[in-house]
Each structure stands twice: as structure tokens, then as C-alpha cells.
Amino acid sequence: MSAVLPHYKMGPANFQASVLIYGGMVVEYNAVANPTTDLTVKPAASASKFVLGVAGNDAAPIATQTGAANTYGQPIIDISVLPDYLSVYYGHTDIWTWYSGAVPQGQLVIVGATAGTVITGGVAPATDQIVGKCTHPGGVAAAMLTQQIGGQGAATFFLGRVRLTV
């Protein structure tokens, strides 16, 4: 029997947000240079090869950490509604993810031009860019792309299911 155990057995990994992230967005590390001390995450860039998984909740960075003094010398208390940490799901998890284009059921998906969203990978996507497979029943049709992410911006997205392979 091996003495090596998996690092994560069940459930998501936890990361700190570097920018506002909505649940269902595909995320990657904020810095991919090696070595780095920046372990925060951001919405994944188009056709990213560094995808970690899909955000399970909304999160935003805390502008001023608790303990910093205000103008009166008292510690600032952060009363943010959103946490600064998010759960990131990965590996053969079927999860709700933001689509920015039509994708047939069963088609492989990659990160789209809109950061944090997925689109069809086409006939032969690069294997290091594949995020998962569209498992939304019947696929995602162009007519379904009518939602806003977080109630902001263009209404050209759809929250559908993806089986992650990252």
C-alpha cells in the first residue's frame, strides 16, 4: 500500500479572489510566473491553459484588511457582504458554469473571449485548453444566451451545466 495520500479527496479547493468573481465563472491564478507569492485567483482569460476550475460562490477582494487604523486611530472593521475567499470546483464535477456562446450537448468547451465564460472548443480544441464537456440537457442554443452575469453588463450569457475535466 502506498504511503502517499491525495491532497484533496473531496470537495472544492479554497482560493482568495483578486477581483470580483461570480459563482459559475471559470478561474485561474492571478499570476502564473514562477516563482510567485501571489496565490489569488481571477476569471480565466480567453483560451487559458491555466484553468483551476469553476467558482462555487461569489467573492471580492477586501480593500482594507481588518486592523488597519482609520483617521481616528481605531481599527477598521470590514462589513463586506461578499467573502474574499471562494470555493473552486475541479475534476469530474458537474457544475453550473457561464456560457458565452452556443454549445451542442456533449461538445468540449474552452474559455471564451469573455473572461470566466465557456464556449465551444470546436472540432479539435487544443487539449491543454479544454475545461470540460457541455452536459446541459439539449445543449446551449444561441437563443438561450439572454442572461447577465451578476445582474450586470450585457445580457448575452447563459448559466448551464459543464462536466469539468480540469
Query: Measured between alpha carbons, how far is 140 from 101 in angstroms, rounded to an integer?
Result: 8
Residue range 75-96: mean pLDDT, rounded:
85
The whole-chain average pLDDT of the chain stands at 88
pTM over 0.95: no
**pLDDT number for residue 130:** 96
Q: Is the pLDDT of residue 7 over 60?
A: no
What count of Cα atoms within 13 Å lies in the side-chain half-sphere of residue 149?
Answer: 24
**pLDDT number for residue 51:** 95
**pLDDT number for residue 42:** 96
pLDDT class of 70 with cuts at 50, 70, 90: confident
Q: Is 107 exposed, middle or buried (0-12, 13-18, 19+ CB in 10 A)?
A: middle
